[in-house]
Structure 1
Amino acid sequence: MGNFIGHVLPGCFFFIFGLWWIIRCSFIYYRGAGVSRSGSIRLWLPLRCCRRSERALVRFSYEGLIIIVCTLVGIVGELTWGDWQLVARDGHGHHAHFVHLNNFEHATMFSLFFIVGLITVIESMVSSSLQFPVGIDKLALALAYAVEGLLFFYHLDGRPGMDVRLHELLIYAILGCVGAVLLEIAFPTSLLCIIARSFCSLLQGSWFFQIAHVLYGSSPWEETDENSGFVVLAFCWHILGISMGSLVLFLCVSCVVSKCCDHRAASRNGWTKKECKEEESPMLQLQDQQEESSTV
């Protein structure tokens, strides 16, 4: 939908999941949640809260279910807004021209992310003998981002200059998501790749909000050279704000985990805070092993 709601809804989708992923990254680093025995980091495993509920969360991907629901809402909304009609016909029933292309482009974008959610749910429920190839969920996510970027690239034909500038910057954020997910496939134990994917998803979501405000807000911006130039500066401010917000989130999670570790250490036969943290964080153990092997 080429209106305010049509940009805010996908913005909420990407921003919420980017925020969720960056919080997960913090807990993965400090507690090791989501790290498999091989050291690879799962895409779909939700944040564990307690050991009793963890068993249920591992068997079913609530994160994937939320992706399925959100994308279905987006698909149905886009097609309903476009009257479920792609081809307009003349009075004789012959093909005349295509209509509602924007709605079908957005529905196609949501459909690729629907497949991502479907894969993560199935992967979390099937037995070990029916598991998908390792990293198939990340490959599906990279494909979804790539198709999104392709659609937006050809979405710019015949649009005003500032509209083109806004969507070009959005494409840069999408390309960052594609590159980050592909790096995750190549380096499954790297937390930095997940942080990059989370950061670019947050940037993509916040920039959708900016596009909605500039083009369809209560006071749409005028088509001037000054406004077009300020758009690039605003994009850099989004990068700065997300960087600072991510840093604050990491610090907050560090404080929370540190307090929890102090509490557990006091009740575990005199364990120290360092021993408790190492026992809770396979990611930290894996990083120590990698550092030791590199020094040797």
Structure 2
Amino acid sequence: MPDVLQSAFNALLEELQNSESLIRLMISTLLLILVIATSRFVLRRFIRRNIQSSEMRRRWLIQLRNILLIVLVLGLVVIWGHELRTFALSMVAIAVALVIATKELILCVSGALIKGGARSFNIGDRIQVKEFRGDVIDQNLLTTTILEVGPGKSMQQRSGRLIVLPNSLFASEAVINESYSQEFVLHTFSVPFLREHDWRVAQQKLLQLAQKYSEPYLDQAKRHFARLSYRTGLEQPVVDPRVTIQLHCAEELHLIVRLPTKEHDRNQTEQAILVELFAEQDFIGDSVLKR
């Protein structure tokens, strides 16, 4: 394989050196790069001056970078297309070797196309892929960068760690998007109790607190999910706060709290409810204290 690769590469170099159009192709390539660089400079200045929202500005800057990169690649293919077809036979061995050597890069680009075509998530969304969970802050053809949220699936605060995911993950793994509903989410968390604890009082208290903290924007959340259901064609979910029971074993149960909250306030809302729940009572129960 190395001898075949070397001979094919030498043949390709000889053909390029003998081509009369090599200078024209090089000039066209330089002009394309100059146009792309100038467009990038002008458009970046326009975006920075005219878009006030920092999140929206970052999203447009990233989209601009990715679009210009695609335009550059397509332009190079158009410019060098005839030459590539001319030397196709010489490039077969090189192409096979490159595919083997760049397998991971090809998988990353494929994953980027899959996630882009499926519209799995956008900048600012909270996603989970395998055990990696966090807020998306950057994405390109090869990688996606997230700020880790955790530890664990139940935590809603950032850990301070940066995770760079290869896009090849999106070609083989499921993506969980926790921000699909954008402005409002139906946030769920559980509070564990033993069967002998005073969990019935805690259940009523949790329901009151969930209603209290969701009341200021409950009507807005209902309208938001109604629009989302109309747009997606799905049945509208029940938005009102509720507390349900889940049995994990004979001695233990979990109170599952679900309430509507703003997407960026779910951690603060959960912590406020838990602090107020246990501020005046621990719900141990009289039967436990008598032991």
Q: By the TM > 0.5 criterion, same fold?
A: no
Greater strand proportion: 2
Greater helix proportion: 1
TM-score under structure 1 length normalisation:
0.27
Higher relative contact order (CA 8 A, sep 6+): 1
TM-score under structure 2 length normalisation:
0.27
